[in-house]
A and B are shown apart, each in its own frame.
Chain A
Amino acid sequence: MFLAPAVALYVIFLIVPVVQAVRYSTYDWNGLGALSDFVGLDNYREAFGDPAFRQAMEHNGILVALSLVFQLPLALGVALLLNRRMRGRGLLRVVFFAPYVLSEAITAVIFLQLLQPDGLVDEILRGMGLGALVQLWLADLGLVFYTLFVVITWKYIGFAIILFLAGLQGVPDELHEAAAMDGASSWQSLRLVTLPLLGPTIRIWAFLTIIGSIQLFDIVWIMTLGGPAGASSTMATYMVDQGVNSYRIGYATSVAVILFAVCFVFSILYQVFVLRRDVRGGTTRMAG
């Protein structure tokens, strides 16, 4: 019975809304008045057939890939550096972590100002004699999404670094000493001792990053509204655009259900196939 309060909250704030959402998603509904126009799975059919939604899903996919490929080595490298004893280590840790403390909205507004045409970023580039590199960071259809990726990386890299630093504390020095005694180079020691022991941390980080990339909304919405012409859209911005701006609540809800299903299925698969070892305890399999 001690579970009752927790179960109650879970049901009221999670299960009920999800069930409601699935129901709304089968109606053509503008958010005003009664649910009367049942359309079955038409909303889902329309979503998967809409090039704008497919483009948004593609953007989410690219973001997942970019995050894993670029943020992991970067964060790991910085974490390894900051794990060494050196002067100003505490200060550097704060500097790297600081962006994560800022809210998404503040980050977006700051970068919006910096990236204006002839804004600070452009001026700095010109000042360094790199004027040729100046771009329309947010107005170029081919570039805007990558500009946003850099902002997102700036914002979230601190979190990865802190996670990895914490993970590194769990790697006993004795193992490195033992490896060194056996003649391992520092590269071998990193690859064969540190990385395997950091495995659970990396897997958790990857999980959070992938889910975060799929659900990305705030920074994009404030900086570009998903535009120009959908060039930086994500599933979430597409959903809000359809639901809140076009008042197609039923249709937008079907997009929300798709977004939920993607995250849900991914989470289950990740739990079963990737995190299982970590959840069962330790890096060594326990008998029984």
Chain B
Amino acid sequence: MTIWKLLGLAALITAAATALLTTTTASAGGKEQSQTLVWWHNVTQGPGVKLYKDIAAEFQKQHPGITIKAVPLQNEQFKTKIPIALQSDSPPDVFQSWGGGGLVDQQKAGKVADLTKYVKPWIKSIGGTAAGWQVNGKQYAVPYSVGVVGFWYNKQLFKQAGIASAPKTWPQFLAAVAKLKQAGITPIAIGSKDEWPDAFYWDYLATKLCSKPVMQSSAVTYNFGNPCWTRAGEYVQRLLDAGPFQNGFLATPAQQGASSSAGLVANGKAAMELQGHWNPGVMQALTPENKVPSFLGWFPFPNVPGSKAIPGSLLGGGDGYACSWKAPQPACAQFLAYIDSPSVQRRVGSTGFGLPVRRGTENSVKDPNLRTVLKFRSTSPFIQLYLDQAYSAEIGQALNGAIAKQFAGKATPAQVVAEIQSAAKRK
């Protein structure tokens, strides 16, 4: 066979294969009777596992003809798979959404369904938390648990180091770190391998140093010219210079295994960790007794005196669900409504799985620490969404990467801001 014949054959096969693929996609669809909702979520451990099984079973019972097919994915893996799945012809119907810039990107590409008309009857009952999952005033996803980031700490170790009460201001916080060090205790555990835990410090200090208008406009204009951004990095640097983290923290993961940062605090090997409201659930799975440690306490990120930020501003975010463009409606929207129904929301609170968003279900939260978190959430004057989530993925990742470099001693506060700004210019 000559090379030309071979090439001709190759072209023929390519054409045939393309034709075949097109016809198979065209013949799919068109069934009305029994519907299946494929549900991608990131709950693989902790109290949510049983809750999710119950939710699916109850919903199916109430809606004969709708089958829920749950697909639990480990969190990091989830983030990898979702864009590929959305680009395909068979995306999941219901999937985890963190709102913010990521949702904007999905909405721009037409990958998420507009839920506005379906959720209209009940969306007011979840109050202001719904706003983070809107694009241009339209609802493209709904949250079911919203929390804030703060310090999860070991009360016993604090006492042992002679710290009477949880620090309220940044200078008090640095003093507490020094006291813990003096007592031979690792003050802070951090999962720097994953980079986003580093960004929590920088994000939070920016939230505590920059004014609310600066924080809000940055997510739209991507202008980081205000000096408060560099100052945030300088505050981070002062903390880094104090050496508060565990040995080898640059290689420590946040959540995997007993030697992760959550595991270190859960097992009494470090005094505190700056983490989200999900941390008790993560810690529980990492202790030998599978229990939330009794020594655990929570305090909000300390305020920076004399800054332009409103005292009590917090960094937070939450979990929600979106329906893909291909999801059967109103079945998908009905499922989201069920997740936000008082019955389910109360269990979200009572099992310690999350912080319910539905008004009137707040008192279902039993855990005293989560009650504290909820109290601060409801009374906070301003909650800034995690910056890597508030910004477009590309800029958010550049931000996390630049901050991780500072933690590794490879970037100055000014370089961090420059790197974020240059990623934003590319956009």
Stretch from B57-65, B132-140, B337-345, B391-399 contacting the other chain:
B391-399
> Residue on B with the closest CB to A135?
B248
Provide the bound-state CA to CA distance between A225 and B80, in Å.
Answer: 14
B251–A11 contact, CB under 8 A? Answer: no
| CB-defined contacts of A12 to chain B, threshold 8 Å | 13-14, 17
| CB-defined contacts of B110 to chain A, threshold 8 Å | 33
A32–B105 contact, CB under 8 A? Answer: yes
A217 to B: closest C-beta gap in Å: 13
A112 to B: closest C-beta gap in Å: 9
A15–B10 contact, CB under 8 A? Answer: yes
Stretch from B25-33, B83-91, B165-173, B353-361 contacting the other chain:
B83-91
Partner of B84 from the list A31, A33, A228 (CB cut-off 8 Å) is A31
> Residue on A with the closest CB to B427?
A28
Stretch from A90-98, A191-199, A208-216, A243-251 contacting the other chain:
A243-251
| CB-defined contacts of A3 to chain B, threshold 8 Å | 1, 6, 9
Provide the bound-state CA to CA distance between A87 and B84, in Å.
Answer: 55
Partner of B17 from the list A4, A8, A10, A139 (CB cut-off 8 Å) is A8
Q: Is residue B50 contacting chain A, with contact meaning CB distance below 8 A?
A: no
Contact size class for B? 35 or more
CB-CB under 8 A for A228 and B108, given A32-B83, A139-B248: no
> Residue on A with the closest CB to B395?
A246
| CB-defined contacts of B80 to chain A, threshold 8 Å | 244-245
Partner of B248 from the list A15, A113, A138, A241 (CB cut-off 8 Å) is A138
A136–B13 contact, CB under 8 A? Answer: no
| CB-defined contacts of B185 to chain A, threshold 8 Å | none
B217 to A: closest C-beta gap in Å: 23
| CB-defined contacts of A230 to chain B, threshold 8 Å | 405
A196 to B: closest C-beta gap in Å: 36
A54 to B: closest C-beta gap in Å: 15
A60 to B: closest C-beta gap in Å: 20
| CB-defined contacts of A118 to chain B, threshold 8 Å | 247
Partner of A32 from the list B9, B17, B87, B252 (CB cut-off 8 Å) is B87
Within 8 A of A (CB), among B22-50: none
Within 8 A of B (CB), among A227-242: 227-231, 241
| Nearest 6 interchain pairs by C-beta | A33-B109, A32-B109, A229-B408, A228-B250, A138-B251, A139-B248
Q: Identify 9 new A-B residue pairs, CB closer than 8 A, beyond the known A139-B250, A227-B193, A228-B192.
A: A7-B9, A15-B14, A30-B394, A31-B83, A31-B87, A118-B247, A228-B408, A229-B250, A231-B408
Residues of B within 8 A of A (CB): 1, 6, 9-10, 13-14, 17, 79-80, 83-84, 86-87, 105-106, 108-111, 192-195, 246-252, 257, 259, 393-394, 397-398, 404-405, 407-410
Residues of A within 8 A of B (CB): 1, 3-4, 7-8, 10-12, 15-16, 30-33, 113, 116-118, 136, 138-139, 141, 144, 224-225, 227-231, 241, 244-249
